[in-house]
Amino acid sequence: MIEVSQTPPLNTVQDLGRFGYRRYGIGSAGAMDRLALAVGNCALGNASGAAGIEFQLFPVMLKFRVDTAIAITGADCAATLDSLPVPPFWVTPVAAGQTLRLEAPKTGARTYLCIAGGIDVPEILGSRSTQMRDGFGGLSGRQLQPGDILPTGSRPALRFRDSFGFGIEPPDSALPPNAHDWATDSDIVLRVIAAAEHDQFDSASIKAFRTTAWTITPQSNRMGYRLAGTSLKRSDPTEMRSQAIVQGVVQVPPSGQPIVQLADGNSAGGYPKLAYVIQADLWRLAQASPGRTLRFALVSLDDARRARAEQAAYLKDVSRMSGYCRSQVQA
């Protein structure tokens, strides 16, 4: 069990998401940076979809009530375990009574805590993710509060090769960076595929979308990111009927400033869809804070599949190599 000693709002229990219920208007929820959650779970030997905690606001203080093992992934939040600094993307044993502190990250937006056996809250509609808008899933359908006790799943104890645990290569350095002809080193490049209404936009708008920088505005959260940049226009701005939408879709409302729908996004919407951020790049967006600039690189469906395969290979490598650093203690 984990005791939440200190937490600001908006920190929640999340797994990889709730799928199959969009037709009823129920969004997927789930971790914004699903890759960070999955790699933490893989390193611990959990199922990749085990529930963990997503931290968006800091500082946070957690106290462990049992001996267990944890993985801290996502943004580097200068974690300390009983005052000993813990590097980012780190897997370590923890003893009952130890305290973990997380501070606001200097780069990146979200940090994840995975725990051996996962966070054991009830599974609702096939997921343990907190669905904040509808108030279910996670811990009583709400964000974490000081004083909360989080149950953890049972798991055989782990023995570590090094007493301090081990680190895993972060996706930022393990996966090849995305290329874009006009991107600066500080830009985040996201690969997109064209969406249904892509060809309805005028050529100047399509060119601007692919070549110019887009700034993430402060009106951005788990529902979606609003971007600021060149105003995008359709040649024939006829109003559309609402259609099903998914995480990663880039919609363009009448203001001409795009919105990217994310984990807590709507299940349907009537704005024209210009592109989809490929699933393999959503983690890059999840770690981007307001003020960061984005560039969009149009790729093919085959490129998107290759990117997904690269990510799967990364998770498999981490799983395999983590096995050399920790083993299950036989009962």
Partner 1 sequence: MSAELHTIATLIDLLRAHNITQFEFVSGSTQFKWTQNPADQADSASTERLADDPRLTEVLSPGVGMFVARHPLMPREMTAIGDSRQRGECVALIKIGMIYRPVLAPCAGKIVKRTCRPGDLVDYNRPLFLMQPNAA
Q: 114 or 119, CB closer to partner 1?
A: 114
SS3 assignment, position 306: helix
Q: 16 or 91, CB closer to partner 1?
A: 91
Distance CA 73, CA 112 (A): 5
Q: 107 or 231, CB closer to partner 1?
A: 107
Distance CA 282, CA 262 (A): 8
Least separation in angstroms between CB 302 and partner 1: 19
Q: 72 or 150, CB closer to partner 1?
A: 72
Distance CA 148, CA 150 (A): 6
DSSP string, 226-284: EEESSPP-BSS------EE--TTEEE--TTS--EEE-TT--SEE-SPEEEEE-GGGHHH
What angle is formed at CA 264 by the lines to CA 261 and CA 268, rounded to 5 degrees? 60
Closest by Cα among 271, 218, 230, 225 to 247: 225
Distance CA 193, CA 93 (A): 42
SS3 assignment, position 25: coil
Least separation in angstroms between CB 307 and partner 1: 14
Least separation in angstroms between CB 293 and partner 1: 13
Give contact residues for partner 1 (rule: CB under 8 A).
Answer: 76, 83-89, 106-108, 161-170, 172-174, 176-177, 179, 183-185, 189, 314, 317-318, 321-322, 324-325
Tell me how far CA of residue 247 lies from CA of 65, 216, 268, 276, in angstroms. Answer: 36, 17, 11, 8
DSSP 89: S
Least separation in angstroms between CB 176 and partner 1: 7
What angle is formed at CA 325 by the lines to CA 322 and CA 328, rounded to 5 degrees? 90
DSSP 279: G
Least separation in angstroms between CB 17 and partner 1: 25
At 245, list the tokens.
């939408």
Distance CA 273, CA 257 (A): 12
Q: 13 or 77, CB closer to partner 1?
A: 77
Q: 198 or 326, CB closer to partner 1?
A: 326
Q: 154 or 163, CB closer to partner 1?
A: 163
Q: 123 or 162, CB closer to partner 1?
A: 162
Least separation in angstroms between CB 64 and partner 1: 18
CB burial readout 318-327, b (16+ within 10 A) else e: bbeebeebbe
Helix orientation angle between 301-322 and 34-44, rounded to the nearest 10 degrees: 30
Which residue intervals of 27-157 are DSSP H helices?
34-44
Least separation in angstroms between CB 39 and partner 1: 9
Least separation in angstroms between CB 72 and partner 1: 11
Least separation in angstroms between CB 168 and partner 1: 6
Q: 187 or 197, CB closer to partner 1?
A: 187
